[in-house]
Amino acid sequence: MRIDSPPLPSGAFTIGKKFTFEGGHRLPGLPPEHKCSRQHGHSYEVEVILTAPALEEPGFVTDFGALSPFKTFLAGNLDHRNLHEILPFDPTSERLAQFLAGWIMEHLQPQLPGRLVAVLVRETTSSWARFDVEER
């Protein structure tokens, strides 16, 4: 039995890939009584979101394997580190999402067929921050 294809709608394709790392930080700009001013850690989850108006063969926005250098970057530079000691900013999830978007744009975007839409950073199962990249 063969299924006939319905008329295909126009639009864009979007994919996401999640990565994880463990990191500690504190936010010294907060009052001392705020819990985040003290050293603490998170099991960070980072989602990279890409889009394309058309698919590359064999039918991808971007091959997920093309994002492996990002995983390597996270593992080698952020995993099991005190983020406030190595990053040039107070490591809120918002700033971390923007920083990671910048890293992807500088190191991966030129070779990727898909366009980076956003980077989402999740500190816990119930809290996240997302940086949306302006379309160029």
In a domain, 33, yes or no: yes
In a domain, 90, yes or no: yes
Residue 94, helix vs strand vs coil: helix
Reported as a single tens digit per residue, the pLDDT across 82-104 is 999 999 999 999 999 999 999 99
Question: What are the residue numbers of the active site?
Answer: 36, 80, 123
Residue 16 has pLDDT above 90, yes or no: yes
Place of tokens 């990279």: 48
Is 42 annotated to bind a ligand? Reply is: yes
In a domain, 64, yes or no: yes
In a domain, 47, yes or no: yes
**Residue 30 pLDDT:** 87
Reported as a single tens digit per residue, the pLDDT across 122-133 is 999 999 999 999
Contact 48, 17 (CB under 8 A): yes
* Sequence-ordered list of residues with C-beta below 8 angstroms from that of 10, at least 6 positions apart, any chain: none
* Identity of the amino acid at 87: L
Q: Residue 82 burial by CB count (10 A; 0-12/13-18/19+): exposed, middle or buried? A: middle
Q: What is the pTM of this model?
A: 0.93
In a domain, 36, yes or no: yes
In a domain, 8, yes or no: no
Give the CATH number of the domain where residue 103 resides: 3.30.479.10
Number of domains in the chain: 1
In a domain, 121, yes or no: yes
Contact 13, 61 (CB under 8 A): yes
Domain that holds residue 48: 13-132
Reported as a single tens digit per residue, the pLDDT across 30-47 is 898 999 888 899 999 999
